[in-house]
């Protein structure tokens, strides 16, 4: 039975939140769209968070994903920066959840290992593998590449989980 899944990948950021949509059909991936939600750096925090939410809502409305995957953020040396990024990440998690999507989370190391086979791969290696897995894709920028990588990782991880579940049910 063929199952088509449309996955929204999100790379949280206060200035730029990357997003990417891939379609997973069995073991095949298809690029649907990608881009970046940019906030006004001069706007108050609440307005910037609203801009991220509205942007994600627009992506969900236009592309109708069935599920979402979000990259976990790393700790920064500056506590203030870490807190601000945490606020953005909260919006990135709750917006697709409010739209009724299941939301999975993956660490950057998990995403890199899934795509490149090496958890400390650099951004160029990740973007290169995204381009290889989605031939002909035009990636908006590195934030969008990271978001596509998260979506691809989720497609791979959930496909393996589904196979295990099917095998367990068959026994």
Catalytic residue among 40, 47, 138, 143: 143
Residue whose entry in the numeric block shows the structure tokens 């068959």: 170
Give the pLDDT confidence of 117-170 residue by residue, as tens digits: 888 888 899 999 999 999 999 999 999 999 999 999 999 986 544 443 444 455
Of residues 163 and 99, the one with the higher pLDDT is 99
Question: What is the C-alpha to C-alpha distance for residues 43 and 140, in angstroms, rounded to an integer?
Answer: 24
The model carries a pTM of 0.90
DSSP 75: P
Closest among 48, 18, 3, 40 to 130, alpha carbons compared: 18
Contacts of 165 (CB under 8 A, 6+ apart): none
DSSP E strand boundaries for 12-157 = 16-25, 28-38, 67-71, 102-106
Catalytic residue among 47, 71, 72, 102: 71
Give the pLDDT confidence of 59-96 residue by residue, as tens digits: 999 999 999 999 997 666 788 888 888 999 999 999 99
Query: Domains in the chain, please, with CATH?
Result: 4-170 (3.30.420.10)
Please indicate whether residue 40 is annotated as part of the active site: no
Please indicate whether residue 71 is annotated as part of the active site: yes
Please indicate whether residue 62 is annotated as part of the active site: no
Task: Work out the average pLDDT over 24-51.
Answer: 96
């Amino acid at each position: 039975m063929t199952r088509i899944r449309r996955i929204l990948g999100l790379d949280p950021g206060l200035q730029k939140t990357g997003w990417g949509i891939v379609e997973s059909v069995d073991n095949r991936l298809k690029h649907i769209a990608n881009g970046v939600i940019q906030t006004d750096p001069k706007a108050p925090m609440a307005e910037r968070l609203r801009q991220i939410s509205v942007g994600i809502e627009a992506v969900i409305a236009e592309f109708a994903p069935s599920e979402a995957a979000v990259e976990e953020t790393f700790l920064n040396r500056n506590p203030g920066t870490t807190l601000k990024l945490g606020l953005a990440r909260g919006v990135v998690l709750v917006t697709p959840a409010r739209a009724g999507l299941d939301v999975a989370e993956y660490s950057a190391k998990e995403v890199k290992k899934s795509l490149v086979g090496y958890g400390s791969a650099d951004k160029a290696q990740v973007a290169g593998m995204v381009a290889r897995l989605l031939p002909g894709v035009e990636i908006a920028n590195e934030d969008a590449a990271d978001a596509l990588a998260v979506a691809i990782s989720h497609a791979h991880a959930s496909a393996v989980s589904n196979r295990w579940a099917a095998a367990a049910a068959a026994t």
